[in-house]
């Protein structure tokens, strides 16, 4: 289209986008069993890019059967740990070799900045596969000497859980998929992945690399389609042993319920409304920049975005001014613009949701300090928006907006700040801006959050676990902690002659 021509993209990207997409099941590229497809809309132009198949329950059955076969009897099951490790490294190398194309696909499909897609999403994907590749050969149980009378050899074995279903959201499509798949493959599981219906393209391109890396057919399967149909079917499918989900809290609740009814293992990474505490000693320009980046990155479509800033009253006005000054420097542009920071939101629906929250904030009496509007141009843009003088009982303070909206309020004492911060059903992350070490260390244990960032936001590394407290979910992605959610522990007792 006109827009793609304006910025220039790789021929490879253009070729990939020019074809109707197929799903990847048992090593084959297939249409859905009914032939039904859904149009993929480009957020920057609102034009139709291509189509993806809409999977049915019978397509899912085929994907699960392929994953089961590899897990129960296949070549994958017999691979030695170092062979799995080598395959994952090969896959990481292929992602790296195709990083620019993957970043362009991600940017065009999701709307996000192509520069950030390359540096964060794709780099994060590569790093995640490299990190977990190394774990394949470092999994082990324990040998224990029991106190029971008699003579026994007793030990534990770590065994892969089986077929893992991954339900992936649209905000970091490839990276979140990698967070779920890399560890699963490292421990020897097989997988059926459902990307979000809005953003399936990078995962489909990735599946070509899975094939190229020589990973046996059926180890990784991709089914595309609606969450309400195919996602829901995955959580109840008897051939699936574990469901790992990232998405909204309401959908996560239903995924969790169905999984538990079927006694499936489940990991839920859900919504957030992460508080940010700015103490009076904070370095105002540096903190304002970090707070703005922490909420406006990916246009606020980030689960652990720092969306509620509580700022010490003595610096409140100065801090808001610094926030606004810095925010004004963030370029709003289509994702393919290399300078883009504020990209269009993923869909018209998401744009409507965010704008209606902004209206609700105004109706509830919050002051729009900066931004607050959509844009009279093509693409689902919403201006970065800062609200001042919010109260904790406002919907814009309690509910996840998932757009570029920061709510702020002043506080007088740190005790009050902690109370405001913890007054939320969510507990994904929290941030503190201060250089007063004693106070920072006193605050960290008091915050109900799975991650606490100090003088930073959303710093993520595959070696460190990520996952929420409270209604932000349970279980962890990343870090050695994730491995335990993908393996069963078997206890073995062997009677020996006494």
Among 12, 65, 139, 232, binds ligand TXE (CB under 6 A): 232
**CB-CB contact of 230 with 245 (8 Å):** no
- Is residue 341 close enough to count as binding ligand TXE by CB under 6 A? no
CB 247 → ligand TXE: shortest distance, Å? 3
Nearer to ligand TXE, 99 or 251 (CB): 251
- Is residue 101 close enough to count as binding ligand TXE by CB under 6 A? no
390 is a catalytic site residue: no
Q: Which of 269, 383, 400, 471 is catalytic?
A: 269
**CB-CB contact of 66 with 240 (8 Å):** no
| CA–CA dist 200, 23 (Å, integer) | 10
- Is residue 491 close enough to count as binding ligand TXE by CB under 6 A? no
Which pair of tokens denotes residue 67? 């994953």
Closest CA to 113 of 104, 125, 101, 122: 104
**Residue with the shortest CB distance to ligand TXE:** 227
Nearer to ligand TXE, 171 or 221 (CB): 171
- Is residue 171 close enough to count as binding ligand TXE by CB under 6 A? yes
Nearer to ligand TXE, 189 or 255 (CB): 255
DSSP for 285-337, please give it. Answer: HHHHHHHHHHHHGGGG--TT-EEEEEEEGGGHHHHHHHHHHHHTTSPB--TTS
- Show contacts with ligand TXE in window 377-406 (CB under 6 A): 400, 402
- Show contacts with ligand TXE in window 280-309 (CB under 6 A): 303
Closest CA to 67 of 158, 181, 200: 181
Among 181, 240, 255, 276, binds ligand TXE (CB under 6 A): 255
| CA–CA dist 67, 217 (Å, integer) | 9
- Show contacts with ligand TXE in window 345-384 (CB under 6 A): 353
CB 119 → ligand TXE: shortest distance, Å? 19
Nearer to ligand TXE, 50 or 472 (CB): 472
| CA–CA dist 186, 135 (Å, integer) | 6
CB 290 → ligand TXE: shortest distance, Å? 20
Nearer to ligand TXE, 383 or 400 (CB): 400
Q: Which of 303, 383, 400, 471 is catalytic?
A: 303
In three-state secondary structure terms, 469 is strand
Closest CA to 202 of 50, 48, 28, 342: 50
Nearer to ligand TXE, 142 or 349 (CB): 349
- Is residue 270 close enough to count as binding ligand TXE by CB under 6 A? yes
Burial 332-356, CB ≥16 within 10 A → b, else e: bbbbbbeebbbbbbbbeebbebbbe
Looking up tokens 């808001």 gives 320
Strand partners, 275: 308
**Residue 445 per-residue DSSP state:** G
Size of the site for ligand TXE (CB under 6 A): 26
Among 32, 43, 169, 239, binds ligand TXE (CB under 6 A): 169
Among 216, 218, 227, 334, binds ligand TXE (CB under 6 A): 227
CB 455 → ligand TXE: shortest distance, Å? 24
- Is residue 246 close enough to count as binding ligand TXE by CB under 6 A? yes
Q: Which stretch binds ligand TXE (CB under 6 A): 85-93, 162-170, 291-299, 443-451?
A: 162-170
- Is residue 247 close enough to count as binding ligand TXE by CB under 6 A? yes
Which pair of tokens denotes residue 64? 């699960």
**CB-CB contact of 486 with 161 (8 Å):** yes
- Is residue 168 close enough to count as binding ligand TXE by CB under 6 A? yes
- Is residue 344 close enough to count as binding ligand TXE by CB under 6 A? no
Nearer to ligand TXE, 132 or 170 (CB): 170
Among 102, 196, 259, 358, binds ligand TXE (CB under 6 A): 196
Among 58, 228, 413, 442, binds ligand TXE (CB under 6 A): 228
- Is residue 56 close enough to count as binding ligand TXE by CB under 6 A? no
Q: Which stretch binds ligand TXE (CB under 6 A): 11-19, 72-80, 158-166, 224-232?
A: 224-232
Among 248, 374, 398, 446, binds ligand TXE (CB under 6 A): 248
Strand partners, 152: 495
Residues across the chain: 498
Closest CA to 409 of 417, 401, 400: 417
| CA–CA dist 417, 425 (Å, integer) | 16
Cα-based distances in Å from 214 to 81, 87, 209: 15, 7, 9
Looking up tokens 């893992």 gives 164
Strand partners, 430: 452
Residues 6+ apart with CB under 8 A from 444: 432, 452, 454
- Show contacts with ligand TXE in window 412-471 (CB under 6 A): none
CB 251 → ligand TXE: shortest distance, Å? 4
**Residue 374 per-residue DSSP state:** B
Query: Which residues form the interface with ligand TXE (CB under 6 A)?
Result: 167-171, 194, 196-197, 227-228, 231-232, 235, 246-248, 251, 254-255, 269-271, 303, 353, 400, 402
- The set of catalytic residues is 269, 303
């Amino acid at each position: 289209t006109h827009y793609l021509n304006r910025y220039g993209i790789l021929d490879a990207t253009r070729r990939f986008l020019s074809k109707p997409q197929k799903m990847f099941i048992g090593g084959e590229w297939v249409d859905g069993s009914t032939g039904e497809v859904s149009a993929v809309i480009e957020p920057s132009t609102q034009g139709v890019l291509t189509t993806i198949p809409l999977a049915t329950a019978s397509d899912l059955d085929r994907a699960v059967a392929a994953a089961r076969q590899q897990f129960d009897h296949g070549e994958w099951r017999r691979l030695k740990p170092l062979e799995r490790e080598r395959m994952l490294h090969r896959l990481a190398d292929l992602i790296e070799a195709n990083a620019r194309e993957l970043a362009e696909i991600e940017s065009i499909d999701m709307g996000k900045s192509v520069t950030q897609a390359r540096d964060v999403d794709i780099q994060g994907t590569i790093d995640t596969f490299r990190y977990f590749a190394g774990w394949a050969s470092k999994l082990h149980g324990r040998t224990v000497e029991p106190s029971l009378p008699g003579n026994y050899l007793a030990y534990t074995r770590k065994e892969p859980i089986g077929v893992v279903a991954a339900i992936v959201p649209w905000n970091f499509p490839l990276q979140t998929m990698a967070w779920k798949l890399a560890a699963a493959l490292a421990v020897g599981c097989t997988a059926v992945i459902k990307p979000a219906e809005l953003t399936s393209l990078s995962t489909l391109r990735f599946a070509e690399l899975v094939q190229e890396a020589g990973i046996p057919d059926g180890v990784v399967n991709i089914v595309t389609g609606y969450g309400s149909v195919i996602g829901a079917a995955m959580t109840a499918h008897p051939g699936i042993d574990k469901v790992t989900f990232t998405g909204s809290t309401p959908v996560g609740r239903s995924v969790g319920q169905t999984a538990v009814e079927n006694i499936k293992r489940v990991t839920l990474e859900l919504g957030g409304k992460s508080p940010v505490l700015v103490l009076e000693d904070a370095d105002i320009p540096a903190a304002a920049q970090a707070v703005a980046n922490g909420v406006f990155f990916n246009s606020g479509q980030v689960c652990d975005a720092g969306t509620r800033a509580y700022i010490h009253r003595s610096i409140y006005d100065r801090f808001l001014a610094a926030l606004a000054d810095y925010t004004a420097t963030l370029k709003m542009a289509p994702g393919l613009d290399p300078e883009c920071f504020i990209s269009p939101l993923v869909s018209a629906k998401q744009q409507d949701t965010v704008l209606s929250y902004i209206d609700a904030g105004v109706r509830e009496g919050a002051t729009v300090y900066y931004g607050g509007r959509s844009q009279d141009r093509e693409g689902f843009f919403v201006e970065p928006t800062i609200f001042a003088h919010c109260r904790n009982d406002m919907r814009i303070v309690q509910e996840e907006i998932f757009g570029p909206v920061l709510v702020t309020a002043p506080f007088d004492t740190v005790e009050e700040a902690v109370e405001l911060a913890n007054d939320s059903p969510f507990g994904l992350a929290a941030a503190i801006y201060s250089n007063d070490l004693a106070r920072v260390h006193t605050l960290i244990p008091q915050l109900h959050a799975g991650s606490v960032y100090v003088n930073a936001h959303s710093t993520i590394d595959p070696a460190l676990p990520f996952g929420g407290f409270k209604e932000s979910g349970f279980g962890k992605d990343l870090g050695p902690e994730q491995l335990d959610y993908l393996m069963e522990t078997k206890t073995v007792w062997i009677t020996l002659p006494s």
